[in-house]
Chains A and B, each alone.
Chain A
Amino acid sequence: MSELISTSIMAPLGPRRLSLGWEQAQRNVNGNVAFVADLDSKPRTRVSLAEHISNYGRIPTGMTLGMILETLKVSNLTGRGGAGFPFAKKLEAVISSSSKRVPVIVANGSESEPISKKDVALLRNNPHLVLDGISLVAGILNAKNAYVYIKDREAAATMSAAIRERRDRGLSELRITVVDSPGGYVSGQETAVVRRIEKGPALPRFSTERVASSGVKGAPTLLSNVETFAHLALIARFGGDWYRLGGVSKDAGSRLLTVVGEIERPGVYEVTSAATLTEILREAGAGSLKGLLVGGYFGGWLGVNTLADLDITLDETTLNSKRLSIGAGIIGVLAKNTCPVVEAAGIVEYLASQSAGQCGPCFNGLPEISTAFARIALSSNVDRGLTELKAVIPLVEGRGGCQHPDGVIGLIRSTVAVFSDEIKLHKVGRCSVNGASHRSVLLPNNVFASNLTGIATR
Chain B
Amino acid sequence: MKLVIDPTRCQGHGTCAQLLAEYIEMDKWHYPILNHNRLKDSHLDAAKRAVSLCPELAVSILID
Whether the pair B30, A208 counts as a contact (CB closer than 8 A) is: no
Size category, B interface: 10 to 19
Which of A212-220, A340-348, A393-401 forms part of the interface with chain B?
A: A393-401
Query: A-facing mask of B2-35, CB < 8 A → 1, else 0?
Result: 0010111111100000000000000111110100
Task: Choose one: B7, B29, B30, B31; the contact of A206 (CB below 8 Å).
Answer: B7
Task: Choose one: B7, B11, B30, B62; the contact of A399 (CB below 8 Å).
Answer: B7
**Nearest Cβ on chain B to A369's Cβ, whole angstroms:** 13
Contacts of A204 in B (CB 8 A): 8
Whether the pair A206, B12 counts as a contact (CB closer than 8 A) is: no
Q: Which residue of B lies closest to A401 (CB)?
A: B8
Query: A-facing mask of B28-62, CB < 8 A → 1, else 0?
Result: 11110100000000000000000000000000001
Q: Which residue of B lies closest to A365 (CB)?
A: B29
Q: Which residue among B4, B7, B28, B33 has the maximum number of chain A CB atoms within 10 Å of its CB?
A: B7
Using known A-B contacts A360-B29, A395-B28, A399-B33, determine if residue A205 contacts B4 with beta carbons closer than 8 Å: no
Contacts of B7 in A (CB 8 A): 206, 358-362, 399-401
Which secondary structure dominates chain B's binding surface? loop
Whether the pair B8, A395 counts as a contact (CB closer than 8 A) is: no
Contacts of B8 in A (CB 8 A): 203-206, 356, 358-359, 401
Contacts of B62 in A (CB 8 A): 208
Q: Which residue among B8, B12, B33 has the maximum number of chain A CB atoms within 10 Å of its CB?
A: B8
Using known A-B contacts A206-B9, A208-B62, determine if residue A361 contacts B29 with beta carbons closer than 8 Å: yes
Contacts of B29 in A (CB 8 A): 360-361, 364-365, 395
- A265-B24 Cα distance, complex, nearest whole Å: 53
- A361-B27 Cα distance, complex, nearest whole Å: 9
Contacts of B4 in A (CB 8 A): 208
Contacts of A361 in B (CB 8 A): 7, 27, 29, 31
Chain A residues proximal to chain B, CB less than 8 Å: 203-206, 208, 356, 358-362, 364-365, 395, 399-401
Known: A358-B7, A400-B7. 16 other contacts (CB 8 A): A204-B8, A206-B6, A206-B7, A208-B62, A359-B31, A360-B10, A361-B31, A362-B7, A364-B29, A364-B31, A365-B29, A395-B27, A395-B29, A399-B31, A399-B33, A401-B7
Can you list 12 A-B pairs, Cβ within 8 angstroms, ordered by A? Answer: A203-B8, A206-B6, A206-B7, A206-B8, A206-B9, A208-B62, A356-B8, A358-B7, A360-B10, A360-B31, A361-B7, A361-B29
Chain B residues proximal to chain A, CB less than 8 Å: 4, 6-12, 27-31, 33, 62
